[in-house]
Chain A
Amino acid sequence: MDLELEPTLESIIQQSSLKWIFVGGKGGVGKTTTSSSIAVQLALNHPNDQFLLISTDPAHNLSDAFCQKFGKDARKVEGLENLSCMEIDPDAAMNDLQQQAQQYNNDPNDPLKSMMQDFTGAIPGIDEALSFMEVLKHIKNQKVADGTDSTESDKISYKTIIFDTAPTGHTLRFLQLPSTLQKLLSKFQSLSGKLGPMMNMLGGAGGQNPQEMFSKLNELEKQVAEVNEQFTNPDLTTFVCVCISEFLSLYETERMIQELMSYNMDVNSIVVNQLLFAEDEVKPCSRCVSRWKMQKKYLDQMSELYEDYHLVKMPLLGTEIRGINNLKRFSKFLLKPYDPKVDSSIITDLEEK
């Protein structure tokens, strides 16, 4: 089969059913730039819909990318009316939750307290799930606030939500949670049936009893299963991998793609950033030329490996891509492949911020 897919993100930008777009990759490969570009292009191409760009990275850089301060609540981007941004620290949400639990049960000698913490800590993916649920709750709250604020007609305010995921850890590890949790819960339940009276006796004075905790876990499992269903539906959710044309980055990308596929997530686009396109320059610098040769080597390997993916090639520019105007110019190349002969002016032409 020799069906080349076009090297653009057009399918994502034009597709109208997508609700969630995740942008992921290791640190320093241009995730934030790419996610901002995707968001900008979406907003430009669907001027009648609202879009939300969320960064869950503790080191927030959406503010820097748009040269505008963003916070915990969604705020509209100046110069692009239908795009909002939001920066959330998922760990903070998690910490809140723990503090809440401590408030209920502040007996330092209660043996159950640490036991419960150990229980919840030992389930793989649970902290990711909790923090993600927290993020989702936050988004939902935003919607409600918007709905009461303006007329009732725009209840679903965001057509698509773009996630700029954190580079560390397995952001989407919680997708494996439902099966794990189900197994654990059934075990816990049989255990609590046997040990229930004893646990109640031990924990009765403390306040938070195990039954309550199980029901909480049950609820979480249901939520995660719901989210999972949405995320594994390729019509609703897609994942865009970002990498640069270097060995380690490709290696990590490959691993990420395999992992995502094991969660049944839809991955069909890879953005390769920071390419030099050195050969057509008027005055080629020797370092650029040799580095471009190396990048091309990996690009060839990639096109062999990922023949059924959209491989988007983005150029390395002379400066950081900041500000809405620069993003608009840069993001054009997500739809129309960068041609070094025609478009090379952009490399040095960006507005300084």
Chain B
Amino acid sequence: MLAFLPLYQQAILSLAAMILFTSFVLLAQNGVLAIIHVFAWQGLLVAVTTAFVAFDSGAGHLYFSALMTITLKVIFIPWLLHRLVRRLGIDRETHSVERPARVLMSAAALVVFCYYVAQPIQQYSAALTRNTIAISMSVVMLGMLMLITRRKAVSQVIGFMSLENGLFFAAVSATHGMPMFVELGIAFDVLVAAVIFGVFFFHIRDSIDSLDVGQLNRLAERDE
């Protein structure tokens, strides 16, 4: 079936697969700067895919969304994180992943799960991108997995933002984007969230002398 599609439509599907792959890479990546770079790549892939989808469907506002993604997720947030990481002096730190094999196995299981969840939804769409709904859902889930498995604040933020990438991609692939001002509102929220995260890095560092949020455990419910 794939062979009968025009080349740019095949490209959309290949790019979707690459986005999924970047999520896997994020899960297993160790160095702080490497994580930030992979995240920027993921944003770029999402933006390029969006532009292709815009070309394919003729939905002009998607070009704008793609542009917004590039400014926000490829340029601004990685730049901000880069700067923060260097100012905090942790750019050489590695955030080792505990049990990478187990993490990747659960990631794989999550992708299969998403495929099954998305299966009944896909049948109602005739769009080319319907198959990428499962991919976008997987990116969301893998972002969540990254949030759970990481202990360092920077990696958690990247997990959160990658989750956002998944959501944006979901909107693009399922419905060719949300209405414009909703999308603007979401972008604004992401922007503010990024800035607040930056503020938090300094607060956390000041309070526990490191960015290892695993040490934030004073409030856990525990036995007397």
Q: Do A and B bind each other?
A: no
Q: Which residues of chain B have a CB within 8 Å of any CB of chain A?
A: none
Q: Which residues of chain A have a CB within 8 Å of any CB of chain B?
A: none
